[in-house]
Amino acid sequence: MNAPDRYERFVVPEGTKKVSYERDTKIINAASFTIEREDHTIGNILRMQLHRDPNVLFAGYKLPHPLQYKIIVRIHTTSQSSPMQAYNQAINDLDKEFDSLKSAFEAEIVRHSSEY
Amino acid sequence: MEGVSYQRYPRVKIREMRDDYVKFELRDTDSSVANALRRVMIAEVPTIAIDLVEIEVNSSVLNDEFIAHRLGLIPLTSDRAMSMRFSRDCDACDGDGQCEYCSVEFHLRARCIGDQTLDVTSKDLISSDHTVTPVDFSDSPGDDSSDNRGIIIVKLRRGQELRLRAIARKGIGKDHAKWSPAATVTFMYEPEIHINEDLMETLSLEEKKSWVDSSPTKVFDIDPNTHQVVVVDPEAYTYDDEVIKKAEAMGKSGLVEIYAKEDSFIFTVESTGAIKASQLVFNAIEVLKQKLDAVRLSEDAVEADDFGELGAHMRGG
């Protein structure tokens, strides 16, 4: 009857931004990124990639509530970097990692198919 | 602005590959990537499934919604799904789901006239698009015993009839499990097993045998010639700790050390038949890339930060 549409779980509503950025009011070089309609899939790979960056002092994500379809990624960096820079860097690195994974998998399919 | 890269270069090795099954090793990455890949394969790789059913005649023993549900669960060949549109953002048809870009129409007409029960199966579904048809399992090897008539939808007795029109749409498993292309997707950490050979040699053959038998799965064995304990199948180990407990009980703690390699995973992917298992992995990587692209910061968010440190100071930072 009044059930929300199922796709509301993964389609960003009109007029809402996919990613919003909010700087911490008390700590320099700390900020939260609110990502709409994403979950552990993106949250966890972003967090782990941020941990590989030595300029990142803290990186964590949370799914505030199972019925609020958003995650909050919090980043605190050293003065050598900024949360925004670290965030962009993490996404670029992950993107390149998946590019490399894609071609590795493609090559492996070709190699495997030719063997049998 | 561009800093150093902390990128990794994962390695892949396929061990076994069939149309509906693939087993591969993934190395030089971490569990977050492996888990993201698994999650995307299950819930976010698109397929096509029946989503709307208009029933004209149904005098079968199953009610309309029961049949509609069964139709939805039939896997349809979905190689086209990645390039199709979701009907909710299809401009050509206002989302009514009846255009070539976002939907496929099916018809089913069956009526039992004889005394024998008539099986209505997925083979009776007539598709308007030859690229999207119910999955055919008949050519899978070792399945020649039965006449293979597809997936049974309903059985009809004399005089009963079923006539309907169905629309299949693109969707993802997050929306409804009928759109999930994955039957099972699992990954395990590759175990690294070290036997302390010196300590092992202090055991008698009987003790070795009882220790080897303490493992619920066949991980270790005894070489019949040298009577040495050898690791025959490390991947059979289920991280049950039984052999470690047994060694402790025998007063030989440290007999064996087992670690889970943190950057090495063994994936098992089984597909429903909607797309090939190898294609499923491939599409999952593609979907993950699209998702990452979507979470990039938009331009206006960057501009809003142009106040930079000044803004932070103004707010008392």
CA dist B187 and B189 (Å) reads: 7
Site of tokens 């990502």 = A35
Q: Residue A50 above 50 pLDDT?
A: yes
With CB atoms and an 8 Å threshold, state whether A98 touches B316.
Answer: no
Q: Which residue has the tokens 């055919």?
A: B136
10-residue mean pLDDT profile of chain B (317 residues): values are: 80 96 96 97 97 96 97 96 88 69 93 95 94 82 60 96 95 96 97 94 94 95 93 94 95 93 96 96 97 88 56 47
What burial letters (b/e) apply to B274-299, b meaning 16+ CB within 10 Å? bbbbbbbbbbbbebbbebbeebebee
Strand, coil or helix: A58 = strand
Q: How far is CA B120 from CA B60, B123, B146, in A?
A: 10, 8, 16
pLDDT at B315: 47
**Residues of chain B contacting residue A100, judged by C-beta atoms under 8 Å apart:** 7-10
Among the four given CATH numbers 2.40.100.10, 3.90.550.10, 3.30.1360.10, 3.40.190.10, the one describing domain B9-29+181-191+265-317: 3.30.1360.10
CA distance A100 to chain B (A): 6
pLDDT at residue B302 in the model: 63
Full strand arrangement of the beta sheet holding B21-27 = B11-18, B21-27, B256-271, B182-195
CA B202 to chain centre: 46
Of A81, A98, A105, the CB nearest to B3: A81
pLDDT given at position B275: 96
**Cβ–Cβ below 8 Å for B301 and A19:** yes
* Cβ <8 Å between B39 and A105: no
Short-list A46, A39, A56, A26, CA closest to A97: A46
Q: Are B24 and B14 in contact (CB under 8 A)?
A: yes
From the list B100, B33, B113, the residue with the least C-alpha distance to A90 is B33
B47-178 folds as RNA Polymerase Alpha Subunit; Chain A, domain 2 (2.170.120)
Which among A20, A91, A93 has CB closest to B296? A91
Which of A85, A88, A93 faces B7 most closely, judged by CB atoms? A93
Task: Return the structure tokens found at A113.
Answer: 């198919």
Host H or E run for residue B53: strand B47-58
What is the greatest pairwise CA distance in chain A?
62
- With beta carbons under 8 A apart, name residues in chain B contacting A46: 295
**Helix, strand or coil for residue B29?**
coil
Q: State the DSSP code for B236.
A: G
Q: How far is CA B208 from CA A70, B49, B212, B261, in A?
A: 54, 55, 6, 26
The nearest CA of chain A is from the CA of B124 a distance in Å of 30
From the list A20, A84, A108, the residue facing B14 with the nearest CB is A108
pTM, 2 dp? 0.90
- Of B48, B56, B41, B49, the C-alpha closest to B70 is B49
User: For an interface test with A, which of B295, B298, B300 has the most A Cβ atoms less than 10 Å from its Cβ?
Assistant: B295
| Separation in Å, CA of B315 to nearest CA in chain A | 6
**Comma-separated ranges of CATH 3.30.1360.10 domains in chain B:** 9-29+181-191+265-317
Contact B50/B72 with Cβ under 8 angstroms?
yes
> Closest Cα of chain A to B314: distance in Å?
10
Chain A residues whose beta carbon lies within 8 Å of the beta carbon of residue B311? 23
In whole angstroms, how large is the CA radius of gyration of chain B? 28
**Residues carrying CATH 2.170.120.12, chain B:** 47-178
Backbone angles phi, psi at B195, to 5 degrees: -95, 130
| Residue appearing with tokens 């890949």 | B37
| Residue B306 pLDDT | 52
The answer to whether A80 touches A57, Cβ cutoff 8 Å, is no
Residues of A in contact with B40 (CB under 8 A): 41
CB B217 within 8 A of CB B191: no
Residues of chain A found within 8 Å of residue B301, distances taken between Cβ atoms: 17, 19-21
Handedness of CA B103, B20, B286, A83 (dihedral sign): positive
In chain B, what residues touch A49 (CB-CB under 8 Å)? Answer: 6, 32
**What fold characterizes domain B30-43+192-264?**
Alpha-Beta Plaits (3.30.70)
In contact, B254 and B247? CB cutoff 8 Å: yes
Task: Give B-chain residues touching A61 at CB under 8 angstroms.
Answer: none
* CATH code 3.30.70.20 region(s) in chain B: 30-43+192-264
